[in-house]
């Protein structure tokens, strides 16, 4: 909330400070509990300092309570002050069009959208304009309401300013009054709804609901009931929240973007210069163009600042607006009040999350994953129920995005976004100077109580020692991207004893300065580009630590033996530790560990044998290490595997311990396998949960994310099979022992050097569940048969150069997709006419193909020059040639009894003629 009374602001600041102190004491007490678990002794006493802190907090609270009584504050003062300070002016449909600049294109698009008839026969349809405060939603709605085309299309018109209180009774009464043009003093909802139903019966109605915040679907449904009596109702809604649009809309949301630069400049000129632009000095014009950029093309901000500058004749006044923060120039609160309303109406739990974003500089590219974790480490994410903190944090991100605070295309897996400059200024204004970033050419004057600090400029890293006096209250310190600049030896982060999150680019920072003993509250520690061989032992005393990240600490050769003392550790990430050979046994004591990621640890040869003791492990990703096998105990939590790439496997027999693995198993480099007994011991046929099996005789293949959880074993040994005959015999024997369990759904074979596949591939018992087969680069296979694969739905053949024929009658009847590419010797594909389930058939770059049976689907044929006089039977549904795509370059004869029209949809022009019959 925005509170202007200085004494109340000071009171709130004191209250917030005491709340921080109380949180710190509780956190330290929790630390002592954890310490007692790790360091068992006969007696653990509460430290004397903690008892003093508690007494001091109680004393401070008593003083704050006295001040509250003196200021005559009550529990209702917060909402009351918020409502009185941030009242939204009521709106109406009247607008002075001569004062409106731009938005012609958006206006036309919306008129077309509203004027279009509904395809589903619904009487009521809703068009929703979504955008941040001050972007021009109401103005655009006014333009639409008064447009001559709208007046001609509708019989009745209404405008209701909704605001935060979606009171159905009030809104229905105001809708009646607006549509009839007469006051109506009835308060009974049934009477009101009967009145509106009678007034609009059989009429075409256009109703605007301006500034809607309601997220209750029941309220919306109750409001729209009486409108069913009309012949057609179009409701235009303006809102700042995507969630509101989702509840109310029946057509896609219209997201109103920021004003283009040209129109922004026209708007600024209109209000700043009027008709006197020719008399203005060119310096004013240049400054004005920079100001509109600073406003981020937000129309209301441009209009407010331009109006403010209209009577300013001094250039320094204009430059003052340009060079200072906008809120410092907004004494009348005209620029920020629309955004301030959005902030004031945020749920309490979202406000600190939003304000935390002001720690980062403008134009910062936020990662939702990173931000959610930082919120968690600060205690901003509250868990309640089955969802974990990360899931709830992502919900917070989505809500802020829906409310137009975050800009970007939302994605629940990987969401990167930015803050509009004005929204960023809003966050800085409301953060109370608790969040700072250093990226410019000078260090700002920090407040006494600095809580969050981001440093990303190499020239300013040297200033860190001088800032140490401000570190006493610091809770976040992120020092990044200073391009090899070494942290100064005078910098001691241990003075920041309240830290929850610490991230440092070390670059040769002396290990003697790296003491963590006092950082009892630390949840997140990221050390990047360190040159130390061992981590300080004091790290093992961080009992509250939840995330330890070590990036490019290339000299690190071992982890502390007591790392198992980190009883709260949930995430361990090690990347680029080139000398790390082994992990300590105590790693398996980390019962809270949910995620373990090991990347580019090229000398890491083995994992601790008791990895199965990590009972909470949910995600395990290992890539580019020297590991050749996994400890058998890991089968206990095999479901945690996200991706494991073992690139130096000589044996795969140890897979017998991983019968419960249920993702994708990739065996590459199979040309190096000679020990068939070892393959037999792996016993793939016992892996009943395996979903996908990829067998490749190649090395270095890349596995797509679509394959889900992946265990990739790359066999690496010297091969003695050099001749084609040797490879044929070796691979044929090997294939026998690679038979999977009948539950397998997907099979992919790549680079197979044999002349014939093992018989199990077409065995209906072995492949009873197989739905998808992909064969690529199997160059010695001349014919294929899939007759026994009764559940096969997807077939892909790629670069099988010697494949000549797919045996007639061998294609399963349930096939839905056939994709054949670059099979240069394939002459014919028959039996397609019986595939009633076929929905997609692609055949590309098959140079010898001359015969293709009739089919009842949407074919796509390209670069098959010998395919001549091909006939396609059109089913009842194939009445439009958009369902066909041919690019063969020769005559096509198409049986198109239902063909209604022809349109140019071929990928390549047909060179001779087309015959339709």
Percent of the chain with pLDDT over 70: 82
CB 476 within 8 A of CB 493: no
Decide which of 526 and 297 is more confident: 526
Return the closest-CA partner of residue 403 out of 199, 174, 245.
245
Residue ranges with strand state E in 39-184 = 124-130, 156-163
* Mean of pLDDT values over 743-747: 96
Angstrom distance (rounded) from CA 213 to CA 345: 9
Give yes or no for a contact between 767 and 760, defined as CB atoms under 8 angstroms apart: yes
- Percentage of the chain surpassing pLDDT 90? 42
Q: How many CA atoms lie within 13 A of 664 on its CB side?
A: 20
Q: Which residues pair with 47 in a beta bridge?
A: none
What's the average model confidence in pLDDT over 765-786? 94
pLDDT band at 383 (very low <50, low <70, confident <90, very high): confident
Q: Are 342 and 132 in contact (CB under 8 A)?
A: yes
The residue that leads in pLDDT, 511 or 99, is 99
pLDDT digits (tens, 9 = 90+) for 94-126: 888 878 888 899 999 999 988 887 656 788 999
Please report how the helices 6-38 and 48-71 are oriented relative to each other, as an axis angle in degrees rounded to 10.
Answer: 160
pLDDT in tens, 3-45: 446 677 777 777 887 888 888 889 989 998 899 889 876 566 6
Give the pairing of strands 416-417 and 366-367. antiparallel
CA distances from 203 to 66, 364, 836 (A): 63, 51, 49
Q: Are 481 and 504 in contact (CB under 8 A)?
A: no
pLDDT at 896: 44
Strands 892-894 and 885-887, bridge-based pairing: unpaired
In this predicted model, which residue has the larger pLDDT, 256 or 871?
256
Binned at pLDDT 50, 70 and 90, residue 499 comes out as very high
Number of Cβ within a 10 Å radius of residue 393: 24
pLDDT number for residue 297: 86
Angle between helices 282-294 and 315-323 (to 10 degrees): 20
Count of C-beta atoms within a 10 Å radius of residue 252: 10
Render pLDDT for 412-453 as a digit per residue (tens, 0 to 9): 878 999 998 888 888 988 887 778 887 655 566 666 778 999
Quote the crossing angle between the two packed helices 389-402 and 368-378, to the nearest 10°. Answer: 120
d(CA 211, CA 237): 7
- Tell me what the pLDDT averaged over the chain comes to: 83
Burial, 196: exposed, middle or buried (Cβ in 10 Å; 0-12, 13-18, 19+)? buried
Choice between 462 and 524, residue whose per-residue pLDDT is larger: 524
159 alpha carbon, distance to own chain's centre: 37
Using CA atoms, how far residue 558 sits from 201, 404, 576, in Å, is 80, 47, 13
Helix 189-200 with 168-180: angle, nearest 10 deg: 30
**Confidence at residue 819, expressed as pLDDT on a 0 to 100 scale:** 95
> How much is the pLDDT for 110?
93
When pLDDT is averaged across residues 742-769 and rounded to a whole number, the result is 93
Q: Is residue 754 a contact partner of residue 727, using CB atoms and an 8 Å limit? A: yes
Given the DSSP bridges, would you call strands 595-599 and 571-575 parallel, antiparallel or unpaired?
parallel
pLDDT of residue 894: 44
Give the pLDDT band of residue 461 (cuts 50, 70, 90).
Answer: low
Q: What are phi and psi of 775, to 5 degrees?
A: -120, 125
Lowest average pLDDT, out of 208-217, 219-228, 631-640, goes to 631-640
Which pLDDT value is given to residue 485?
A: 63
pLDDT digits (tens, 9 = 90+) for 300-354: 888 888 888 887 778 888 888 777 766 555 555 666 777 888 888 899 999 999 9
pLDDT at 598: 94
- State the pLDDT at residue 899: 41
Helix axes 315-323, 299-309, angle to 10 degrees: 150
Residue 291's closest CA among 281, 280, 279, 303? 303
- At residue 328, the pLDDT reads 56
Q: Which residue has the higher pLDDT, 96 or 739?
A: 739
For the segment 610-621, what is each residue's pLDDT rounded down to a tens digit? 999 998 998 898
CA-closest candidate to residue 89, choices 263, 299, 318, 338: 338
Whether residue 581 has pLDDT greater than 80: yes
Tell me the three state secondary structure of residue 682.
helix
CB contact at 8 A, 602 and 577: no
Kindly report whether the global pTM for this prediction surpasses the value 0.85.
no
Cα(40)–Cα(542) distance, rounded to whole angstroms? 16
- Comparing 377 with 460, the larger pLDDT belongs to 377
Quote the pLDDT of residue 251.
76
C-alpha span between 745 and 671 (Å, rounded): 25
DSSP annotation string for 164-188: S---HHHHHHHHHHHHHSS------
- pLDDT of 320: 80
């Amino acid at each position: 909330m925005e509170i202007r009374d200085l004494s109340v602001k000071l009171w709130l600041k004191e209250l917030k400070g005491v709340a921080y102190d109380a949180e710190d004491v509780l956190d330290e007490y929790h630390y002592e509990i954890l310490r007692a678990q790790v360091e068992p002794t006969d007696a653990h006493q509460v430290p004397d300092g903690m008892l003093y802190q508690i007494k001091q907090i109680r004393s401070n609270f008593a003083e704050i309570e006295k001040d509250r009584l003196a200021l005559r504050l009550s529990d209702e003062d917060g909402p009351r002050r918020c409502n009185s300070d941030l009242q939204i002016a009521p709106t109406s449909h009247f607008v002075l069009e001569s004062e409106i600049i731009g938005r012609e294109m958006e206006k036309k698009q919306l008129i077309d959208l509203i004027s279009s008839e509904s395809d589903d026969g619904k009487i009521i349809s809703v068009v929703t304009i979504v955008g941040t405060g001050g972007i021009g939603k109401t103005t655009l709605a006014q333009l639409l309401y008064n447009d001559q085309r709208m007046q001609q299309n509708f019989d009745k018109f209404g405008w209701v300013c909704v605001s935060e209180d979606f009171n159905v009774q009030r809104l229905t009464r105001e809708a009646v009054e607006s549509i009839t043009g007469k006051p109506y003093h009835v308060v009974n909802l049934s009477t009101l709804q009967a009145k509106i139903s009678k007034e609009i019966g059989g009429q075409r109605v256009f109703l605007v609901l301006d500034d809607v915040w309601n997220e209750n679907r029941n309220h919306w449904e109750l409001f729209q009931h009486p409108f069913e009596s009309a012949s057609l109702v179009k409701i235009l809604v303006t809102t700042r929240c995507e969630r509101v649009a989702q509840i109310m809309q029946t057509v896609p949301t219209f997201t109103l973007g920021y004003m283009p630069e040209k129109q922004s400049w026209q708007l600024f000129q209109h209000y700043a210069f009027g008709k006197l632009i020719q008399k203005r000095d060119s310096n004013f014009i240049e400054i004005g163009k920079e100001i509109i950029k600073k406003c981020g093309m937000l129309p209301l901000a441009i209009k407010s600042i331009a109006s403010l500058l209209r009577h300013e004749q001094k250039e320094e006044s204009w430059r003052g607006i340009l060079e200072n923060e906008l809120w410092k120039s907004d004494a009348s609160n005209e620029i920020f009040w629309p955004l301030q309303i959005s902030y004031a109406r945020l749920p309490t739990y979202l406000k600190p999350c939003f304000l935390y974003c002001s720690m980062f500089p403008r134009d910062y590219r936020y990662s939702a994953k990173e931000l959610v974790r930082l919120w968690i480490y600060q205690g901003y994410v509250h868990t309640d129920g089955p969802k974990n903190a990360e899931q709830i944090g992502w919900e917070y991100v989505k809500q802020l995005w829906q409310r137009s605070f975050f800009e970007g295309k939302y994605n629940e897996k990987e969401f990167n976004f930015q803050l509009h400059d004005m929204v960023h200024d809003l966050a800085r204004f409301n953060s109370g100077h608790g969040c700072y970033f250093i990226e410019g050419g000078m260090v700002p004057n920090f407040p006494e109580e600095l809580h969050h600090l981001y440093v990303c400029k190499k020239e300013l890293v040297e200033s860190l020692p001088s800032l140490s006096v401000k570190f006493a209250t610091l809770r976040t310190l992120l020092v990044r991207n200073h391009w090899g600049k070494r942290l100064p030896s005078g910098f001691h982060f241990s003075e920041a004893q309240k830290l929850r999150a610490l991230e440092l680019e070390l670059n040769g920072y002396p290990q003697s300065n790296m003491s963590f003993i006092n950082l009892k509250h630390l949840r997140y520690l990221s050390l990047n580009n360190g040159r130390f061989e061992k981590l300080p032992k004091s790290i093992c005393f961080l009992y509250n630590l939840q995330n330890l990240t070590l990036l490019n600490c290339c000299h690190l050769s071992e982890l502390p033996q007591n790392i198992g003392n980190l009883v709260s550790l949930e995430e361990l990430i090690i990347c680029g530790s080139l000398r790390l050979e082994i992990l300590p046994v105590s790693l398996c004591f980390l019962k809270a560990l949910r995620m373990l990621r090991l990347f580019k640890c090229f000398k890491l040869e083995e994992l601790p044998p008791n990895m199965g003791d990590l009972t909470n492990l949910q995600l395990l990703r290992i890539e580019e290490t020297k590991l050749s096998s996994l400890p058998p105990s890991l089968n206990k939590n095999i479901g945690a595997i996200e991706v494991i790439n073992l690139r130096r496997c000589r044996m795969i027999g140890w897979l017998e311990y991983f019968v419960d693995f249920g993702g994708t198993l990739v065996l590459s480099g199979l040309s190096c396998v000679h020990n068939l007994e070892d393959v037999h011991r792996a016993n793939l046929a016992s892996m009943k949960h395996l979903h996908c099996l990829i067998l490749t005789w190649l090395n270095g293949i890349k596995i797509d994310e679509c394959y889900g959880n992946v265990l990739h074993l790359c066999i690496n040994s010297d091969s003695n099979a050099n001749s084609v005959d040797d490879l044929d015999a070796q691979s044929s024997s090997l294939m026998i022992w690679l038979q999977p369990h009948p539950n397998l759904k997907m099979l992919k074979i790549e680079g197979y050097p044999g002349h014939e596949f093992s018989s199990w591939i077409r065995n209906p018992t072995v492949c009873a569940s197989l739905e998808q087969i992909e064969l690529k680069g199997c160059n010695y296979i001349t014919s294929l048969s899939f007759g026994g694969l009764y559940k096969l739905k997807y077939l892909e053949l790629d670069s099988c150069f010697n494949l000549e024929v797919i045996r007639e009658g061998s294609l399963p009847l349930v096939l839905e997709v056939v994709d054949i590419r670059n099979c240069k010797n394939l002459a014919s594909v028959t039996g397609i006419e019986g595939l009633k389930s076929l929905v997609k058939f692609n055949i590309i770059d098959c140079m010898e193909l001359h015969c293709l049976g009739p089919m009842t689907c949407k074919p796509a044929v390209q670069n098959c020059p010998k395919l001549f006089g091909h006939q396609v039977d059109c089913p009842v549904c194939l009445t439009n040639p958009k369902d066909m795509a041919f690019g063969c370059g020769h005559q096509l004869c198409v049986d198109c009894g239902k063909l209604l029209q022809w349109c140019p949809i071929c990928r390549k022009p047909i060179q001779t003629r087309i015959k339709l019959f």
